[in-house]
Structure 1
Amino acid sequence: MSTRALLRCGVVAGPFFILAVLVQDYTRPGFDPRRHALSLLSLGDLGWIQIATFVTTGLLYAAGALGLRRALRPGPAGTWGPLLIGTFGLGLVGAGAFPTAPGWGYPQGAPPGVPVDTSVSHVLHGVSFFVVLISLVAACFVFARGWAARGARGWTIFCVVVGTALPVIYVLAGVLSDRGADPQPFSLLLRTLALTGWSWASLVTLRVMNMAADGHLRADHARNP
Structure 2
Amino acid sequence: MTITATRIRATTPARTLLTCGAAAGPLYFLTTFIQAAVRDGFDLTKHPASILSNGDAGWIQVTNFLVAGVLTIAGAIGLSRVLEPGRGSVWGPRLLGLFGVSLLFAAAFKADAGNGFPVGAGPATLSTTGMLHMAAGSVGFLSLIVATFVFASRYSREGHRGWAVYSRATGIAFFASFAWMSSGNANAVVMLAFWATVMLAWGWVTAVTIRSAR
Same fold (TM over 0.5): yes
TM-score (norm 2): 0.89
The answer for the alignment partner of 1:121 in structure 2 is 129
Structure 2 equivalent of residue 143 of structure 1: 151
Where in structure 1 are there 5+ consecutive unaligned residues?
211-225
- Counterpart pick for 2:203 among 199, 210, 214: 199
Aligned residues: 203
**Percent of pairs identical after alignment?**
37
The answer as to 2:197 corresponding to 1:188 is: no
- The whole-number CA distance in structure 2 between the counterparts of 1:64 and 1:30 is 34
Distance 2:153 2:94 in 1: 15
Report whether the alignment pairs 1:66 with 2:74: no
Residue 108 of structure 1: how far off its partner (Å): 2.4
Code of the aligned partner of 2:205: A
Residues 1:179 and 1:152: Cα distance change in structure 2 (over 3 Å): closer
CA–CA separation in structure 1 for the residues paired with 2:108 and 2:193: 23
Q: Distance in 1 between matches of 2:193 and 2:133?
A: 18
Match of 1:101 in 2: 112
User: What one-letter code is carried by the residue in structure 2 that aligns with 1:130?
Assistant: S
**What letter corresponds to residue 165 of structure 1 in structure 2?**
A
Q: Which of 97, 111, 122 is the aligned partner of 1:86? A: 97
Could you say what secondary structure the match of 2:38 adopts?
coil
| 1:154 counterpart = 2:162 | yes
Within the alignment, does 1:31 sit opposite 2:42 as a pair?
A: yes
The separation in 2 between residues aligned to 1:6 and 1:149, in whole angstroms, is 26
| Counterpart AA for 2:147 | A
TM-score (norm 1): 0.85
**Counterpart-to-counterpart distance in 1, 2:105 and 2:206:** 19
Closer/same/farther in 2, CA of residues 103 and 157 from structure 1, 3 Å limit: same
Preserved contact between residue 68 and residue 208 of structure 1 (Cα < 8 Å): yes
Which stretch shows the higher mean deviation, 163-172 or 80-89? 163-172
CA contact (8 A) 1:173 1:185 kept: no
Distance apart, 1:160 and its partner CA? 0.8
Deviation of 1:107 (Å):
1.3
Q: Aligned partners of 2:82, 2:53: CA distance in 1, in Å?
A: 35
For structure 2, the residue ranges without an aligned partner over 5 or more in a row are: 1-11
Equivalent residues of 1:55, 1:93 under 8 A apart: yes
Does the 8 A contact of 2:68 with 2:100 survive in 1? yes
Structure 1 residues 73, 121: closer, same or farther in 2, change over 3 A? Answer: farther
Displacement of 1:150: 1.2
- Name the CA distance, whole Å, in 1 between partners of 2:50 and 2:100: 16
